[in-house]
Amino acid sequence: MLNSQSPIPLYHQLADILLAKIRSGEYPPGSRIPSENSLAARYSIGRPTARQATDLLVRKQILIRRRGSGTFVCEKQKEVDLFSLAGTISSFHKKGISITTRILQKIRLKIIGDDPENPFTNKKAYFFSRLSRVEKAPVLIEDIYLHSALFSGIDRIDLASRSLSQIVDEHYYMRPSGGKQNFRIGYLTGKRAQNLDVTPDTPILTVKRFLHFEQAKNAVYSKLYCRTDQFVFSQTLGGIADERSGLL
């Protein structure tokens, strides 16, 4: 039961009780938990307090609300090693997850506008944007910039459904020699939010990726916008010599 004398807020106590029941299997993945009115009556609290408790677990992506149906325990999320050297599309395939991609902005050579982090600022670079879906649900947007000289003619290659690392390897005989990635939590608006089917207040994992080749440093720069409500995006740590596909 809840302890009104405890310094821990009642809503937090209730959230801990619900979490314990979820972890014990009393409320398994996909099951519906009691309504807020039922929780309020069972624990002798007000409905707003019960709402705060479920809100907390929804924010932690442990519970999910379905309009007109109730509040449910989230299904176990699949883990995708999106940030290993295996590349984005191939990481889904390795997990046996069918993924489809659609080009949002066709590849073209253009002058890149002012962006302090973009290594191609005020220079010519190839640019394209693509959206990846799993079972019709959008999960990832990639904005990709490529060195204009190293990747000459890439605008004549189909980029919709192939791993970019495979294309670079097979057509240009190159593999990354190193790179780095920056991770942030951000928010999307406008077309990107529509394409990823999120609201402006939905937190998005944003990754900025820089790839070096023997021929040029920062030859590939990409911005990834990842929904984390359906997949856990992880990173495998290991030696570059153990990986052969590149961070593409």
Note the pLDDT tens digit of each residue in 174-229: 888 888 888 899 999 999 999 999 999 888 999 898 999 999 999 999 999 988 77
Burial of 21 (0-12, 13-18, 19+ CB in 10 A): middle
- Do 51 and 91 reside in the same domain of the chain? no
Query: Could you tell me the two tokens for 157?
Result: 């290659």
Residue 162 lies in a domain: yes
pTM of the model: 0.64
Beta bridge partners of 143: 129, 223
- CATH code assigned at 129: 3.40.1410.10
Residue 247 lies in a domain: no
What torsion do the CA atoms of 91, 97, 98, 99 make, to the nearest 10 degrees? -50
Angstrom distances, CA of residue 96 to CA of 38, 58, 83, 206, 225: 40, 28, 17, 24, 22
- Do 61 and 83 reside in the same domain of the chain? no
Q: What is the pLDDT of residues 73-108, one digit of tens each?
A: 987 655 555 554 345 655 565 656 667 889 999 999
Q: What is the pLDDT of residues 133-180, one digit of tens each?
A: 887 789 889 999 999 999 999 999 988 767 788 788 888 988 888 888
* Residue owning tokens 């959206």: 131
**Residue 19: which domain range?**
10-73
* Residue owning tokens 């659609």: 102
Beta bridge partners of 132: 101, 140
Where among 73, 105, 124 does a domain terminate? 73
- Do 29 and 142 reside in the same domain of the chain? no
Percent of the chain with pLDDT over 90: 51
